[in-house]
Structures are given as C-alpha cells and as structure tokens.
Structure 1
Amino acid sequence: MTASERPKARDSTTRDMLIDATIRIMVDEGYAAATSRRVAAEAGVKPALVHYYFPTMDELYLNVFRRGAAAYLERQQRALASDRPLHAFWDTLIEPKDTRLLLEFMGLANHRKEIRAEIAAWSDRWREMQTTALNFIVREHELDTRDFPPAGIAVIIAAVGRMLILEQALGATTGHSEAVALVNRIIDRFEMPG
C-alpha cells in the first residue's frame, strides 16, 4: 500500500480536542454528561469523529485519565523534589480541578472494571512516589517510621485534600479554612517557611 492509499493518519489535534472537551464536561457536569454526542458538540466536531478516534467511550475515558494521571505524576514529582516538598505536595492535593476529575473517575470506576484497574495502578504509582519522599522526610527528622509510617501519612494527607474538594463541590465549607491552617501548621513543623 502506498502512502497515498493509506487511510489518512488520525489527527492528534482533533484527538486532543476531544480529550480536552471530555475533561471540561467531566469537571463541570460529571462523567455521566460526557457522552459521545456531548463531547463532539463541546469539541465542535461531528459525533462520528468521537468514535473514529476512540472506538468506545471507555477508550476515550482511559485516554482522558491517562493524560491527567501523567500530568499529575509529573507535578507530584516536581513538588516532592522541591525545596519544600511537603507544602508543594499538599498544594497538589488541594487543587480543585485535579481532585474533581479524579472523583469523577472514581464514580465511573464503580461501573467499569477496566477504568477501576487503571486508577488502582496509577494510585499505586502515586502512593509509592509519595511514600518514598515521605520516608526520607520522616527519617531526616529522626522519627520512628513505626509510629509515623510514611504510607499512612500519605494516605491521611491525600484523604484530607480530597474531602475538602468533595465538600466544596457540595457547597459545604465549614471548618475548611481551619483544616487547611492545621495541615499547614503541621507541615511547618517539618518545613519552616523560608
């Protein structure tokens, strides 16, 4: 088959537009609103193009998740390698857009095993990176890792961040500023402001 006989290569710009549109819909309206027709309308393309680039909606959702997960992993790496890794890590955990998208994927994962498995695999990677960095910080401060297990610290910090975003999305913010201030005070014990 000659180059002119091959099907036209799938345009990565259109593919990226579809992923971007899906992200916007999921963050603003929830995963249930991210149908092929709705994604096409948001991207300004014909609905058939959604299935041209992504034969199933699960493939689209997985591509959206993988893009977001890779970007988050990169931000987390930068945060954990910064001069104030705990503060930078905390800041990544309370970023509303990232957390809202992750929460939507958690809802979607309740109905789709492949997406659930993908989230679990990425979560293990994120947690491993967090635990490695926190292990160094705990040991640097001569704390006993049996009393202050780095993996446990990572889970608690992430849970607080996610809960804040979840409640904010519901319109409930009572105690949030106090919780953020408390976490910052605890972190300051390990990383005094420069």
Structure 2
Amino acid sequence: MIEFNIRQTSNLDTGTILLDKWSNPQYFYRSNMYTFSVKNPDEVTKGSIPNVTKLGPYVFDQTQKRRIHSRGNGSVIYETFQYYKFNPAIAALLVQTPFLEVEVGELIFDGYADPFIDQVCSLPFVNFVCEQILELPDRIGLFYKKNGTSTGVFEVEDGHKDNGESLGRIITWNNGTSLVNY
C-alpha cells in the first residue's frame, strides 16, 4: 500500500509537491575555484621556472530553475536555466590578478579581451576569418555569458503511464532523439 501511494505521487502533475520541488529546486551546488598567479612572467619567458602562487578559493553557488513549456501525453517539455552567484562570505577577494594581469572576476564571469587575439584579428583578411569563420567571442572567460543560460529544451516522461517508473526519462533534447556528440 505504501509503495502504491508513493508511485501515485511520483509524477509531475500540476499542483503536486514533486512538480514544485522539481521545477524550483531549493538546493544549490557550491563550487570552489582556484587560480594561479605567476609572479615572474618576464623571467618565465626567458626560461626560468615560474614562481606560482595559488589564489582562492573563489566560491560560487549555482542554482537551477526549470521553465515548463508544455505537458501532456505522458511527458513534460522544459528548459533548465543555470544561475551562478559569487559567495563573498566564504571566498577570497576577486581583485587579485593572475598571469595575464586579468582580474579573477573577468577570468571567471565578466570575460576579458585577449590582447594577442585582438592584435591578430585586426590584421587585414584575418579579421574576416576571426569574425565570420571562427566566430571568436569578443571576450574570454570560464563562465562568460553562461549565467542565466539554458541547458536546452528537454522532453521527459512525467511518470503517469507507469506510476513513476519512467519519471524523468529523457525523450528528446532540443527536439532530437539522438546526439551527434556526447
């Protein structure tokens, strides 16, 4: 009887606690990131061993929100959006500078302009290659333009047809049933 009751509530029906907790999870992932600052870059270019200092941790809390596009026929179509928030209470300061003299905030989220790429891409004809063929970004960063972005549109089983056995099984991702790369 208990198993039957659990299975009856193990689906993503409108108004259920499961749907609410699945759509707006109350948990977060905490990421600690470290960078390494090279203190003797001029000497390194001449063959010396780098004098490296570990910086961090830079702590980020990642949360997720799901946007439901539609439901029905035993499935749910949705997108998951990722949000990253710097946690200053337990993190190192973001103003320390790594090897390229880029602030850590730029390295991680804000992005920075790479002087070498900018110089190469400013040459005649090469700028066309950079912009049209390579589609190089204007800035570089580990999570540049990632905050608040979608992981794609998923269609998953809602658990209705088999009392929760298939709950969450992926049917399609971005309207496709197979992946070219994985």
Q: Output the TM-score relative to the length of structure 1.
A: 0.27
Larger Rg: 2
